[in-house]
Structure 1
Amino acid sequence: MKNKNFSIKAKLLLAIIPITCAMIVALVIIAYNVSAMMIKQNATQLLETSVAKQGTSIENWMNENLSSFNAAKRAIEQAHPKDAELQKIVNGYYNFNTNSPDGLYIADQNGTVIKATKSTKNTTNAVNSPWFKEGLSHVNMTFGDPYVAGGHKVISATGLIDDGSNNLRILGADFTLDRISTIVNSNISMDGAQAFLVNKDTMKVMADRNSAFVAQKVGSSDQPAIYKAAAKQIDHGNYNTQTLGTDFTAFHTIAGTNWVLVSYIPTKVVLANLSKLRLIMIAISIVALIIMCIVVERVTNRTIKPVKKMTKVITAMADGDFTVDVDTKGNDEIAEMGKSIDKFIVYMRQMIKAISQISTSLQTQANW
């Protein structure tokens, strides 16, 4: 059986096209991965900048409020006022601060409470209240954990006060968490990002867009998975920007407190534009492959066409036909080969002509 001929064109196409396709696919993959890395780096930097900006806003809010009430605390300690005068001072701080409308209140170890006359604060069983217990460990007024008071979630700034009496007294002021929650969820520089504030000592949520999570332990069952993942990192003191589950996550500690601000954004949001880019790159790659295949086929065909012509000429010569011609154009190796074959054909024609003339001469002489 004769072996089936396999054209040079087919061999070249089978060698060139797969290699070309592989190179284009490799370039697309490399470009996609490089783009993804750059987008992730930019997202990380933007998230870190955003959480730092939010942290600064919280620190400013906290310092501004604590400064005013600590100033009041120092004034009371210097004046050593009687209870009647102390009541007037407390009344003067009612609605003094928009973040703490009820103003100041003072409670001693006997459960006696001095608060503004118009204050609605519930002071029943003050000694066992969260704010009183927190105040026992603070010299200066410091924020504690959030708790529910009068149906509202509040946070108290409390501290020990020496007003000249012989009683152990706690000075306090309640703040609604609405303002701090607003700060936590504002000034976010990235669309789709969210944040929550955690007390790293008690692991309670201080502020969150979802008010139902406030005062809960971070990582509770009804919270998203990111809360549980963030809780583990806070528990280990790992505040590096990182990917937790499906979210880019940044941490920021609030100076002067035991609070940690956590800001996160879903990876799919960050890479949304990259997904579109991937589809565009795939479409461009397919078009490029089709064009490349057509170009390679045309170039190969143009290159192989003279070889095919020479093959026909050589086949005719092998059958003894030297009337054929090689039409050679160009100055490449194939053209040089064609010129050489053309010279050979001319030489063979001359030889055949000479042999024919000699044969005719010999035949004439033989007839004589």
Structure 2
Amino acid sequence: MPRRAATTWPIRPTVRYARHLAEALRLETVGGIIMLAATLAALVWANSPWSAAYTRLQHLEISPPWLDLGHMDLQHWASGGLLAVFFFIAGVELREELTYGELRNPRDAALPVIAACAGVALPALIFLAVSAGEPGAARGWAVPTATDIAFALAVLAVTFSSCPAPLRAFLLTLAVVDDLIAITIIAVFYTERLEWVPLLAGVALIAVYGALQLAGVRTPWVYVPLAVLAWYFVHKSGIHATVAGVALGMLTSPKENSDPDRPTNAERADHVLRPISAGVCVPLFAFLSAGVTLNGAALHDVAADRIALGVIAGLVIGKFVGVLGGAWAAVRFGLATLGEELHWREIAGVAMLAGVGFTVSLLIGGLAYTDPAQFERVTTAVLIASLLASAGATVVFRRRVRTRARAAAASPD
């Protein structure tokens, strides 16, 4: 039997998926800009004479006794509640990719999937190598493995506004696979206790949600209470509540109906919740998490902390080499080829941009390190790495802009 030819990437998307992709990219890009503004506001406040007020806001407890959720301050609500919406959208995105997008055919998905997997494995190994011997360091091996799609798309939009659409699609697909791996890591490696009764209740509610989706039920008045209760019981079980978000998102039906103008359940949920996630939930999480001290002493502590250095090396070096090396391996071993619309230097820029690890890296950092001082150093390291990755990608993309401009000027009309 003749060997099937390697898939040329990018793959021609379905009309429905192309429409969804354009809307998702637009909203995530705007959300990334809002998140950047929220991050800068947090840093300014945390380094102002009123920094104590910022700390009090972070640790303001809102945990009614009747909810029985323990001590939940605003930081915990942001990471466990607001990011559940973010991961719900990630679940919807993954289901969309598996049904209509680049992941619908495993062989066609080889390029971004292999790049994403290598871009998770290598940063973790680099982190472990740099931080080896530090007490408790190994708990943070997953911190440098995640890519923040909103932040990355915002940088891409500002520095390479004329970039080909397939490059944005490659980055989005890479980030979707990255998010799936991240939520699996959180569920498997960062669950310290497990309460079976709440877990079974949460699983049952998620199953009912999925069954209603399969049955074609459309009213949100059924789904919203189910989703909130599922989140509550998964949180009570000891598993991070964002896992409930991604499970519910993946079960939201993308099945089309006879009327092409009638949105599917997945499209309706995405249309309503993606702006809330990108414009409210993630920026608020960033605002409540990114406010760290950036004076000389604090930066010296980061430079002397091998855990923080491991995070920086993992995100800046590990992500770049892993993503670019994974993409090269997929092409080298005949699993994919690059189409004329993509260039290796642009793939290298995206690989560098993958080191922007912000949202999920901070989430995992908070789960891995409960000591406030260590978490602050890790947060600072994530911010430094994201800045370095953004700067490196900006240099690559600006050069590509000039190269494309010269090529366009030289080509005959």
Q: Which bracket does the TM-score occupy, shorter chain normalised? A: under 0.3
Whose Rg is larger? 1
Q: With CA pairs under 8 Å and 6+ residues apart, which has the higher RCO, 1 or 2? A: 2
Calculate the TM-score normalised by the size of structure 1. Answer: 0.22
Which of the pair is proportionally richer in strand? 1
